[in-house]
Amino acid sequence: MIKNDLFLKALRGESVERPPVWMMRQAGRYLPDFMKLKEKYDFFTRCRTPELATEITVMPIRQIGPDAAILFSDILVVPQAMQVEIEMRPGIGPYVPNPINTAKKVESVIVPDVKEELNYVFEAIKLTKQELNEEVPLIGFAGSPWTILCYLVQGQGSKNFDKAKKFCFTEPLAAHTLLQKITDTTIAYLKEKVKAGVDAVQLFDSWGGLLEPKDYQEFSWKYMQQIIDALKDEIPVIAYGKGCWFALQQMSQSGAAALGVDWTCEARNARYLSGGKITLQGNFDPSRLYSKPADIRRMVHTMIDEFGTDRYIANLGHGILPDIPVENAQAFVDAVKEYQPK
């Protein structure tokens, strides 16, 4: 039995004394101990070495005390397993030397044996579960097929992923073939994560909000729905779409246990659009962690007042930024733990 199961209770819709709290990208660059490891090991070495991934995953649990751990990894380990070369370049981020931008290149992308290609992730889960010793739940994750396609076609990060969108609109058959391959691989990957011991999974659709609503249904949501359908009876699934407030109603009927909300959607609108009967997660602006700790505490309490304590998981609206002071991240977590209903 997990000692602190607030997070799982919230996913099940049970009443809780206070909302659980964790932060997207909480095992990351804002922690000085993480930076020490970064100086020694490159990014994908940290992802592929179970002992390092475990150490990084557990680091924020020990240092700032959130109610759930999220496995240190990256959404791009999935396309790497599909034999797409991906680098992490300083100052650029993810970089694909040979973008998958033609129908012929799509044909060369494989659906791999995830047990073989991604075994290091499953070993990291088992090791992390041992290290956590049932203290808090462990979250596994994957990127949405659309978000992964964006990187594979564009070749690197972008403000608008224009090349990725052009590919979808001019080569739709090839785009859908690639999206389905990513979906099939992701389902197999997440099912193995469940077997390895994660307690919940989150789908990150970081670039879904770049699509207009009809295109979102066509190129993103229907593939996310496939993944949710494949997993919802085995494990709680959190669906997070940045900028996807327009899809909250459909998302709420998907079988997902919870929906992530970014900071551009107010609590009352998120509750209204999602029907008020599903757990919501979010939506503190990550940039607001630059504020003074006292201000963070006040804003967090206001956020919880607006969402309510039940069917709610306190979190950021996107990942924590790398130069946030540790004491400010601590203030965010502590503010949730100290919350008293009015």
Is residue 290 marked as binding? no
Q: What is the pLDDT of residue 108?
A: 95
Is residue 25 marked as binding? yes
Q: Concatenated DSSP letters for 50-99?
A: HHHHHHHHHHHHHHT--S-EE----TTHHHHHTT---EEETTTEEE-SS-
| CA–CA separation, 218 and 89 (whole Å) | 31
Q: What is the pLDDT of residue 332?
A: 98
Q: What is the pLDDT of residue 167?
A: 98
Q: What is the pLDDT of residue 342?
A: 76
Is residue 44 marked as binding? yes
pLDDT in tens, 83-136: 999 999 988 899 999 999 999 999 999 999 999 999 999 999 999 999 999 999
Q: Is the peptide bond before 283 cis (omega within 30 degrees of 0)?
A: yes
Q: Which regions of the chain are under pLDDT 50?
A: none
Q: What is the pLDDT of residue 330?
A: 98
Is residue 74 marked as binding? yes
H helical segments located in the chain: 6-12, 32-40, 43-48, 50-63, 77-81, 103-108, 114-117, 119-132, 145-154, 162-170, 172-196, 213-216, 222-231, 248-252, 267-273, 293-307, 326-338
61, 132 contact by CB (below 8 A)? yes
Q: What are phi and psi of 228, to 5 degrees?
A: -60, -45
Q: What is the pLDDT of residue 331?
A: 98
Work out the percent of the chain whose per-residue pLDDT is above 90.
97
Is residue 151 marked as binding? yes
Nearest to 100 by CA among 38, 157, 167: 167
Is residue 26 marked as binding? yes
3-class SS of residue 21: strand
Q: What is the pLDDT of residue 305?
A: 97
Q: What is the pLDDT of residue 333?
A: 98
Is residue 206 marked as binding? yes
Task: Show the domains of the chain with their CATH numbers.
Answer: 6-286+305-322 (3.20.20.210)
Residue 134: CB atoms within 10 A of its CB come to: 12
Q: What is the pLDDT of residue 68?
A: 98
Is residue 12 marked as binding? no
Is residue 312 marked as binding? no
